[in-house]
Structure 1
Amino acid sequence: MSKKRYPRLFGILPFLGMLLLSGCNWTLLDPKGQVGIEQKNLILIATGLMLLVVIPVIIMTLAFAWKYRASNKAATYTPDWSHSTKIEAAVWIIPILIIIALGYVTYHSTHKLDPYRPLDSDVKPIQIDVVALDWKWLFIYPEQGIATVNKIVFPANTPVNFRVTSDAVMNSFFIPGLGGQIYAMAGMTTKLHLIANENGEFDGISANYSGAGFTGMKFKATATSQEDFDKWVAEVKQSPKKLDKAEYDALAKPSENNPVALYSEASPEQFQLIVDKYEGMNRGRSHEEAGSKDLATTKGVESSMQPAAGAEE
């Protein structure tokens, strides 16, 4: 390839990039749930605040390079210059103010968007238990007594309380169109609270590499009206499959690209039974319970090691 063709090639590359990016989905910047909307706002605010520093620096770099180029004989040459109070004030005060603003926004949003924090709503939430398996997702509805694989349905404008665990390797439960992800770990219970602001179907994925079947570990999350949700539950209850021990043991075996499965019966205790399988791994406690109990145990051990008052040394 001749040297004359290189500029032409570089001119085509941006258009090729635009063509490839046109097939991308901006799900994170177009969420359909309140949690996702607030997370998007946080991303945009934080990015905007940081650009207040980045953009002026880039502009000044280009401007200074142009002004003090070798061919510009009119530029002032001051080799002994070493200090400017105005520049020092701008360099320090402006970034400090931006950091304070960014810190306030981040601190406030971090606590407001805590995945363990129940959502404020006058509507009674629905409970869904999530179990990450190799390589599929098991969803248990303890209140309805049903279960599904790689598909969940819930009413729109209704808070959904997820309890998440794993009966395999560590994983991550993520519905990008509704909100953030939460890790799924064997012997542990994590929580995530989401809500869909409108009816629709959303892609759910595993956000943590978990082995050979990782790419096929996907599911569909559907938000419907309350009436349609009740009809769907009634349809699931007509399924001939039941999630008994034998069925679960077969389901838990590693398999790839699993189809949707519906179970008309599932024990409300199934989730806790799965968590409690892992003895010695916090016995199914949540992060808060594990932390507080471990701290209490540590303090008890330390107290028992202290000599009693008046004891002989």
Structure 2
Amino acid sequence: MSGGKWPRRLQLAVLAALASIMLAGCGSDYVVLNPKGPVAQTQYDLIMISIILCSIIIIPVIALTAFIVYRYRDTPNNKATYKPNWAHSTKLEVIWWSIPIVIIAILGYFTVRDTYALKENPNKEVQPMVIQVTSLDWKWLFTYPEQNIATVNYLQIPAGVPVQFQISAEAPMNSFWVPELGGQIYAMAGMTTELYLQADHPGEFQGRGANFTGEGFAHMQFNVKATSQDEFDQWVKEVKGTTPAMSKEDYEQLRKPGLSDVLTYSSFPEGLFEEIVSKYSHGHPMETGGSMHDSMHMDGDKKESAPGSEAGEKKDESAHSTHHMPNTAMTPVMSH
């Protein structure tokens, strides 16, 4: 009877494994493993390299474990050599120390290389478009400073153009994520993080919040639509001609906890994103990883603080009173 149970158990185990795979989805449903842009492709390659390198250790260890359990099992007819005084083998020590060290060195090289590469514009030949992202309770606000439009829970971008996202929050910490275009990055009040993404071809992708933020967290999703440059320009023109402007009162309503449908605005209050960040920065300097906004402020600061000028003296006094505060700008973190 016991001999008949094992084949049945094996069949059940195989069926359970197959069911898990089928229920998990297939093909493009594995969005993290379905890259649609250069950033996501770089991260996908790094994931595959990590899996292969780890498999070099994991598979032999599992196989040796099964072999040892079988070979040295406690049965009357087991002819395995019994060596109770064996304690050391220089050859084995060299093997099981040198192989992991080499693998860790290789993995470290690829990880460092790709981590630094992902902080840069993925397409040096094309000027990136800037989009400011604000995480709210429980909705996403996107402001386009170059086009002077805003959207809620909807993002449209031109395909083939890198997008420099400047990300902050006026709500509990969240994480901005479009799996098919790249890894996630934190959105935190009083701080800005930076993330480059690019869609290689037109298409629609699902964006989401990847950090629990309370009751409406499950609804913090947004559609990302990549179109041709002409279609994107036409969409911007339609938004500016057919939708209302966002006022400060509109934003105050948006920032209140609650869900929201997709909204579009033909304009938004100037400096809104910078105001949101500075509101919670407690006097710390705002940084966005070298954005155009920073460049303009740096140029202005240079002019205002010219030696001998009255503005420069006042600025020096202000700086002296706050220079001890640490910088709160966050370095982008790639997450798989």
Instruction: Work out whether the TM-score is over 0.5.
Output: yes
Distance 1:45 1:204, change over 3 A: same
1:20-59 Cα shifts (integer Å, max 9, x gaps): 2237921111110111110011111112111111111111
Query: Is 1:297 paired with 2:323?
Result: yes
Counterpart-to-counterpart distance in 2, 1:194 and 1:63: 47
Q: Kindly report the root-mean-square deviation, in angstroms, between the aligned alpha carbons of the 2 structures.
A: 2.8
Structure 2: gaps (5+ residues): 295-318, 326-336
Task: Answer whether contact 1:141 1:268 (CA < 8 A) is retained.
Answer: no
Counterpart-to-counterpart distance in 1, 2:60 and 2:68: 12
User: Equivalent residue for 2:307?
Assistant: none
User: Equivalent residue for 1:151?
Assistant: 154
User: Equivalent residue for 2:166?
Assistant: 163
Query: Is 1:44 paired with 2:48?
Result: yes
Query: Is 1:239 paired with 2:239?
Result: no
User: Equivalent residue for 1:195?
Assistant: 198
User: Equivalent residue for 1:53?
Assistant: 57
TM-score by length of 1: 0.84
| SS of equivalent to 2:113 | helix
User: Equivalent residue for 1:273?
Assistant: 275
Match of 2:71 among 63, 67, 77: 67
Amino acid aligned to 2:70: W
Give the 5 Å matches for 1:214-233. 214-233=217-236
Aligned-residue offset at 1:286 = 4.6
Give the 5 Å matches for 1:85-104. 85-104=90-109
Counterpart-to-counterpart distance in 2, 1:156 and 1:175: 15
Single out whichever of 96-105 and 215-224 deviates more from structure 2: 96-105
Query: Is 1:77 paired with 2:73?
Result: no
Distance 1:138 1:286, change over 3 A: same
Query: Is 1:180 paired with 2:183?
Result: yes
Counterpart-to-counterpart distance in 2, 1:108 and 1:84: 37
| SS of equivalent to 2:102 | helix
Query: Is 1:113 paired with 2:118?
Result: yes
Distance 1:15 1:279, change over 3 A: closer
| SS of equivalent to 2:277 | helix
Aligned-residue offset at 1:104 = 1.3
Distance 1:27 1:138, change over 3 A: same
Counterpart-to-counterpart distance in 1, 2:207 and 2:78: 62
Counterpart-to-counterpart distance in 2, 1:192 and 1:108: 17
Aligned-residue offset at 1:65 = 1.9
Counterpart-to-counterpart distance in 1, 2:256 and 2:95: 62
Amino acid aligned to 1:58: I
Task: Answer whether contact 1:151 1:221 (CA < 8 A) is retained.
Answer: yes
1:229-274 Cα shifts (integer Å, max 9, x gaps): 0111011112332111111111211112x21111012234221122
Counterpart-to-counterpart distance in 2, 1:73 and 1:124: 71
Identity of aligned residues (%): 43
Amino acid aligned to 2:222: F
Counterpart-to-counterpart distance in 2, 1:282 and 1:118: 26
1:165-219 Cα shifts (integer Å, max 9, x gaps): 1112211111111001111111112111111111111100001111111000110
Single out whichever of 80-89 and 133-142 deviates more from structure 2: 80-89
User: Equivalent residue for 1:127?
Assistant: 130
Give the total of aligned pairs: 291
Task: Answer whether contact 1:239 1:262 (CA < 8 A) is retained.
Answer: no
| SS of equivalent to 1:249 | helix
| SS of equivalent to 1:76 | coil
Counterpart-to-counterpart distance in 2, 1:79 and 1:213: 62
Counterpart-to-counterpart distance in 2, 1:35 and 1:279: 30
Amino acid aligned to 1:88: E
User: Equivalent residue for 2:34?
Assistant: 30
Single out whichever of 236-245 and 276-285 deviates more from structure 2: 276-285
Amino acid aligned to 2:215: A
| SS of equivalent to 2:231 | helix
